[in-house]
Amino acid sequence: MIDINTIEQLLEEWMPHEDEGYGLLSEAMRYSVLGGGKRLRAIMLIESFRLFSGDTELERYTACPFACAIECIHGYSLVHDDLPAMDNDEFRRGSLTTHKRYGHAMGILTGDALLNYSVEIIARAGELLEKNKPDYYVDNIRNFMHATSILYANAGAFGMIGGQVLDVEGFGEGAVPDEDMLSKLCELKTSRLFQAALCCGAILAGADKNDVSLLEDIGCKMGLAFQIRDDILDVTASFEETGKDAGSDEKNNKSTFVSVFGIEKAKEKVKELYSEILDMLGKLPGDKNAFKTIFEKLYSI
Amino acid sequence: MIDINTIEQLLEEWMPHEDEGYGLLSEAMRYSVLGGGKRLRAIMLIESFRLFSGDTELERYTACPFACAIECIHGYSLVHDDLPAMDNDEFRRGSLTTHKRYGHAMGILTGDALLNYSVEIIARAGELLEKNKPDYYVDNIRNFMHATSILYANAGAFGMIGGQVLDVEGFGEGAVPDEDMLSKLCELKTSRLFQAALCCGAILAGADKNDVSLLEDIGCKMGLAFQIRDDILDVTASFEETGKDAGSDEKNNKSTFVSVFGIEKAKEKVKELYSEILDMLGKLPGDKNAFKTIFEKLYSI
């Protein structure tokens, strides 16, 4: 399995240097993206590529920059999510959130810069592929363009951002969300970027439609399991364990799987999803051990 | 010259419908982008394409979606610029700013959604080109990718957003910006998107490097002239004329070309730039009347 240090090195390679650019922007971008995290989306993207292709050159020019781009997208979404008008969080991963560290306006601009930078990485990777590997370029540019389309469709108004809007606007005054509503919210806010990671990796490796579609389903369930587990940790784990204030969902008066169903039912649901994911994984080609390791780590609660 | 109604129709074609998606997000995206404006960047992009190509099919599949994408980028930058932590503006183009109308969190998310949507438009256009015009696709995908790279490089941390950071952070405590500092700020904040419009149009039409480079210089001077004129209007024009509060720069205690040099010198500078732009324009191929019309309208102060 690709290890987290390799992802950190890739990010080092693609992110701007601290002394480049204007004011503290590059520093704040690095602070927001390089400040730890499990790199789940980047790892999933590259491991999904590897299910369908062993071409390390193609991986280097396509899956690797896409993995960095998706970390930038994830990073920007956290920076904006933490803003005072959103969740108003002071800590993330044990450090000050970006706007607490660099100021409110810089929080907005750093998020914008990261989303924009994700596109810069992808476009630059496309140009490098053309320049350095012209024969690969011709064969793979269609998949490259399709993966770009899938990534931003999942990250945007009809994906992750749509979920954030539902989260902010709620489900109508006084409405207590039921399981379907919470699942829909989670599918958008969390699953969509997991789905993007899995599908982009596969598409870049030339996977066929059926396998991409199966990965989309896996990503959906993974996101759900991940979010339920996150909700459980929010009430049970301490600041030292999660790097953020315990009970911050409760503080923000948010409906979560735990607040609606209680911890026991939430835990059961995670186990159920985990077993469904393993079943689906069995239908895919390639060596799936990396994914099993990821899932085991993630869903051991 | 392509008229503003054609641009509005293109935006209608590419923007999400009001009832699509989640909560009020599509409505807020449309409110932010379809709420008027001169469509300068879209017009410049398409007119720049037309200097080098008369291929209406290629224009439809490349320059037109890029024109919509750049309007989304411009739109998102205004929405975020108006936020309370930034310029804290209540009105734009005579209407409430997006966050005043839809709330603070929605202002942030609408801006994010628009930047993300600009990429969705471009990626979707690339896929449509491949599907509907496979022979064009092979010939033009390199230019398409290069234009994407140029667009987001100019819009991002080392372009427009970098300028917003300089604007927010200032030039060091107590520093009164001189002409060079103000020019740099304006080059980033305003010129870069003009440059992107002109260069992307030309690149998509297959223009050669020298012409693209000349357009880059023209865009730089246009942005400067535009910003100086905007600074002049900010102190001289009323709400009815500009759609925003008069003297808002002064209210925000901002250094502008007018506050630093006075109105007369600012006006002189605009005329000087206008004449330089016309000289450079003369060196380009094609029918330049459309550009002359744009410049005349813009720089008549």
Q: What pLDDT is stored for residue A109 in this prediction?
A: 98
Say whether pLDDT at B248 is over 70: no
Q: What pLDDT is stored for residue B89 in this prediction?
A: 95
With CB atoms and an 8 Å threshold, state whether B163 touches A22. yes
Mean pLDDT of all residues in B51-68: 97
With CB atoms and an 8 Å threshold, state whether B116 touches A157. yes
Interface mutation target, options A32, A112, A185, chain B, most CBs of B under 10 Å: A112
Q: Which residue of A has its CA nearest to B112?
A: A112
With CB atoms and an 8 Å threshold, state whether A119 touches B148. yes
Say whether pLDDT at B301 is over 90: no
Closest to A244 in 3D by CA, of A82, A83, A114: A82
Interface mutation target, options A30, A119, A122, A144, chain B, most CBs of B under 10 Å: A119
**pLDDT tens column, B121-139:** 999 999 999 999 998 888 8
Q: Which of A124, A130, A146 sits opposite B142 (nearest CB)?
A: A130
**Whether A189 contacts A165, CB under 8 Å:** no
Q: What pLDDT is stored for residue A252 in this prediction?
A: 60
Mean pLDDT of all residues in A52-81: 98
Q: Which helix (H) or strand (E) holds B95?
A: strand B95-96
Cα A143 to Cα A121, A135, B42, B219, B234, distances in angstroms? 16, 14, 28, 34, 48
- Mean pLDDT, all residues of chain B: 91
Query: For residue A115, what are its two tokens?
Result: 């989303």
The answer regarding whether domain A4-299 maps to CATH 1.10.600.10 reads: yes
Say whether pLDDT at B112 is over 90: yes
Q: Which residues of A touch B22 (CB under 8 A)?
A: 157-158, 162-163, 165-166, 188
With CB atoms and an 8 Å threshold, state whether B188 touches A124. no
Say whether pLDDT at A247 is over 80: no
Q: What pLDDT is stored for residue A11 in this prediction?
A: 97
With CB atoms and an 8 Å threshold, state whether A120 touches B153. yes
Q: Which of A72-81, A137-146, B168-177, B236-245 has the highest mean pLDDT?
A: A72-81
Say whether pLDDT at B241 is over 70: no
Q: How many CB atoms lie within 10 A of CB B278?
A: 15
Q: For residue A91, what is the DSSP state?
A: E
**pLDDT tens column, A11-65:** 999 999 998 999 999 999 999 999 788 899 999 999 999 999 999 999 999 999 9
Per-residue exposure over A143-162, b if at least 16 CB sit within 10 Å of its own CB, e if not = bbbbbbbbbbbbbbbbbbbb
pTM of the model: 0.94
Q: Which of A80, A103, A119 sits opposite B108 (nearest CB)?
A: A80
Cα B208 to Cα B211, B248, B299, distances in angstroms? 6, 42, 29
**What percentage of residues in chain B have a pLDDT greater than 70?**
93
Our CA-based measurement puts residue A168 at a distance from the nearest CA of chain B, in whole angstroms, of: 7
**pLDDT tens column, A249-285:** 665 667 788 988 889 999 999 999 999 999 999 999 9
**Integer Cα distance of A165 and B21 in angstroms:** 10
Query: For residue A86, what are its two tokens?
Result: 């959103």
Strands B95-96, A95-96: pairing kind: unpaired
HSE at residue B174, side-chain half, CA atoms within 13 A, is 0
Say whether pLDDT at B247 is over 80: no
Q: A75-84, B16-25, B53-62: which range is least confident on average?
A: B16-25
With CB atoms and an 8 Å threshold, state whether A108 touches B29. no
Say whether pLDDT at A301 is over 70: no
Separation of CA B87 from chain center: 18
With CB atoms and an 8 Å threshold, state whether B109 touches A85. no
Q: Which of B86, B106, B156 sits opposite A113 (nearest CB)?
A: B156
Q: Which helix (H) or strand (E) holds B36?
A: none
**Whether B32 contacts B67, CB under 8 Å:** no
Q: What pLDDT is stored for residue B252 in this prediction?
A: 60
Query: For residue B237, what are its two tokens?
Result: 């024009």
Closest to B30 in 3D by CA, of B15, B14, B13: B15
Q: What pLDDT is stored for residue B15 in this prediction?
A: 97
Strands A95-96, A91-92: pairing kind: antiparallel
* Structure confidence at residue B238 as a pLDDT band (50, 70, 90): low
Q: What pLDDT is stored for residue B179 in this prediction?
A: 84
Q: Which residues of A touch B177 (CB under 8 A)?
A: none
Cβ-Cβ contacts under 8 Å for A79 (sequence gap 6 or more)? A32, A97, A98, A99, A107, A110, A111, A114
Q: Which residue of A has its CA nearest to B151?
A: A120
Cβ-Cβ contacts under 8 Å for A85 (sequence gap 6 or more)? B104, B105, B107, B108
Q: What pLDDT is stored for residue A1 in this prediction?
A: 86
For chain A, report the end-to-end CA distance as a whole number of angstroms.
22
The yes/no answer to whether this complex scores an ipTM above 0.90 is yes
**pLDDT tens column, A125-144:** 999 999 999 998 888 999 99
Q: At what angle do helices B263-281 and B209-236 cross, to 10 degrees?
A: 160
**pLDDT tens column, B170-205:** 776 677 788 888 999 999 999 999 999 999 999 999
With CB atoms and an 8 Å threshold, state whether A21 touches B157. yes
Closest to A225 in 3D by CA, of A285, A266, A284, A260: A266
Q: At what angle do helices A179-186 and A160-169 cross, to 10 degrees?
A: 140
Mean pLDDT of all residues in B222-246: 78
Count CB pairs under 8 A between chains A and B.
170
Query: For residue B47, what are its two tokens?
Result: 């007119």
Mean pLDDT of all residues in B244-268: 76
Residues β-bridged to residue B96: B91
Say whether pLDDT at B106 is over 90: yes
Say whether pLDDT at B18 is over 70: yes
Q: State the greatest distance between any 2 C-alpha atoms of chain A, in Å, as a whole number.
A: 59
Say whether pLDDT at B228 is over 70: yes
DSSP reduced 3-state for B73:
helix
Q: What pLDDT is stored for residue B97 in this prediction?
A: 97
Cβ-Cβ contacts under 8 Å for B201 (sequence gap 6 or more)? B44, B45, B46, B47, B48, B49, B50, B51, B63, B66
Q: What pLDDT is stored for residue A187 in this prediction?
A: 96
Closest to B278 in 3D by CA, of B291, B297, B287: B291
Closest to A290 in 3D by CA, of A48, A38, A58: A48
**Integer Cα distance of B290 and B297 in angstroms:** 11
Query: For residue B143, what are its two tokens?
Result: 């230019």
**pLDDT tens column, A137-195:** 888 999 999 999 999 999 999 999 999 999 888 776 677 788 888 899 999 999 999 99
* Structure confidence at residue B256 as a pLDDT band (50, 70, 90): confident
- Mean pLDDT, all residues of chain A: 91
**Integer Cα distance of B10 and A38 in angstroms:** 42
Q: Which helix (H) or strand (E) holds B92?
A: strand B91-92
Cα B7 to Cα A23, A197, B299, distances in angstroms? 36, 35, 22
Q: Which residue of A has its CA nearest to B107?
A: A85
| 3-state secondary structure string across B177-191 | CCHHHHHHHHHHHHH
* Structure confidence at residue A228 as a pLDDT band (50, 70, 90): very high
Q: What pLDDT is stored for residue B175 in this prediction?
A: 73
Our CA-based measurement puts residue A63 at a distance from the nearest CA of chain B, in whole angstroms, of: 17
Q: What pLDDT is stored for residue A246 in this prediction?
A: 59
* Structure confidence at residue A239 as a pLDDT band (50, 70, 90): low
Q: Which residues of B touch A23 (CB under 8 A)?
A: 162, 165-166, 168-169
Residues β-bridged to residue A29: none
